Structure 1
Amino acid sequence: MNKSSRTALLAGFALLSALQAAFAQSFDEDFDDENKPWEEIAVQLPAPPKAENLLPFYVSPTATQSFAVDGKSLSVGSDGVVRYTLISVSQSGARNVSYEGIRCETFERKIYAIGQSNGAWVRARRDKWEGIVQGFANRQHAALATDYFCENRSVYSSDVEKILRRMKSKQTLVDDLRR
């Protein structure tokens, strides 16, 4: 083996070592991304809901309130949280408005703000994630999560229009399973 062949061979080994180190670093970084703690994005409160944008949804036969989502407020964040304005109306006509989020990965919900009669928002005092209850009566969060927002512990679709089409047509994810 002559001197130029040895030089070329050494240069090849050096290049191979450099590439191997780069791939190893990339490989480690991919795993590091998986271990990063979940971080919630900053939330912007939406405009107050308007009657023409409300999408009523079924909760249960024993529900004591009626529920709707403001379609204009629906969003899917890069943090995997589906955010929306929820309107609940009691049988006596009392109306509650709240801006909320559902985290499919952990099956939790959070109230960000409460809507006032003048259209203003007031930040919720209890700004914590809570488990979604699968009760029988007013199970509005469970209905939204299982029927429209979440599939196998992840967001059904990051395409808001796809979720809105389902809600408008009342085509639930549970209906898909029954087919």
Structure 2
Amino acid sequence: MNRLLPAPRLTLATLHLPASGRIARWLCVLAVAFPCAGFTASADRDVDEKPWQEIAAQLPPFPQPENLIPFFVSSASDNKFMIDGESLSVAADGVVRFTVVIISPSGARNVSYEGMRCATGERRLYALGRSDETWSKARNDQWTRIGENSLNRHHAALYKDYFCPIGTFLRDADDARRILRSGGDPSLRQH
């Protein structure tokens, strides 16, 4: 009469290896059996994709009244918002650079030279205009996320309605001036 015996149980003691040695051996077996596909894919991607490099911005001449192009920001603001058409550039680094002029109802005037990255939804302040029509380098010139707020609503308007509407890429400064003069992308304008 044949009886079935229970299968032997493998325990750490039956393998005759210290516990740490068995774990290390299994880890080596797994590493050889399943190579890190994620590592090689990211290594290939790093070779193909170069990190973004910003081109050094050159300050433009101070804006002249005849070159200012008004743009709509919001009916909630009495300020006048304008871009100096001569300062507009669309560079190979993907940054739209421009001088913005904001005039309050009392006549106060703010002038700044800025950049906008459509790919990341960020903006950068390069310089502020002085009353003697010279530039002062911005103290905080880091890239910051463009937010939808009442204080800096003109950045959101330029981003969403003029320079970076969904599916639209500016080819050059002439394209940016044309879009500004036409009032932006009519399908994205909110009335």
TM-score, reference length from structure 2: 0.70
Higher strand share: 1
Pairing of 1:120-131 with structure 2 (within 5 A): 120-131=134-145
Separation in structure 2 between the aligned mates of residue 139 and residue 177 of structure 1, nearest angstrom = 15
Separation in structure 1 between the aligned mates of residue 117 and residue 96 of structure 2, nearest angstrom = 7
Letter in 1 for 2:60: P
Pairing of 1:52-91 with structure 2 (within 5 A): 52-91=66-105
Separation in structure 1 between the aligned mates of residue 45 and residue 103 of structure 2, nearest angstrom = 47
Could you say which residue in structure 2 is the equivalent of 1:94? 108
Using CA pairs below 8 Å that are at least 6 residues apart, which structure has the higher relative contact order?
A: 1
Could you say which residue in structure 2 is the equivalent of 1:149? 163
Could you say which residue in structure 2 is the equivalent of 1:139? 153
Select which of 146, 162, 174 maps to 1:161: 174
Contact residue 83 and residue 99 of structure 2 kept, 8 A: yes
Q: Percent identity?
A: 50
Q: CA-to-partner distance for each residue in 1:28-69, whole Å, 9 max, x for gaps?
A: 9887232x2211111100000000000011101112422100
Contact residue 64 and residue 137 of structure 1 kept, 8 A: no
Higher helix share: 1
Q: Determine helix, strand or coil for the equivalent of 1:60.
A: coil
Letter in 2 for 1:142: A
Structure 2: gaps (5+ residues):
1-42
Letter in 1 for 2:103: V
Q: Determine helix, strand or coil for the equivalent of 2:179.
A: helix
Structure 1: gaps (5+ residues):
1-27
- Answer yes or no: is 1:33 the counterpart of 2:51: no
Select which of 39, 44, 47 maps to 2:58: 44
Task: Work out the number of aligned pairs and report it.
Answer: 147
TM superposition shift of 1:138: 4.5
Q: Determine helix, strand or coil for the equivalent of 1:142.
A: helix
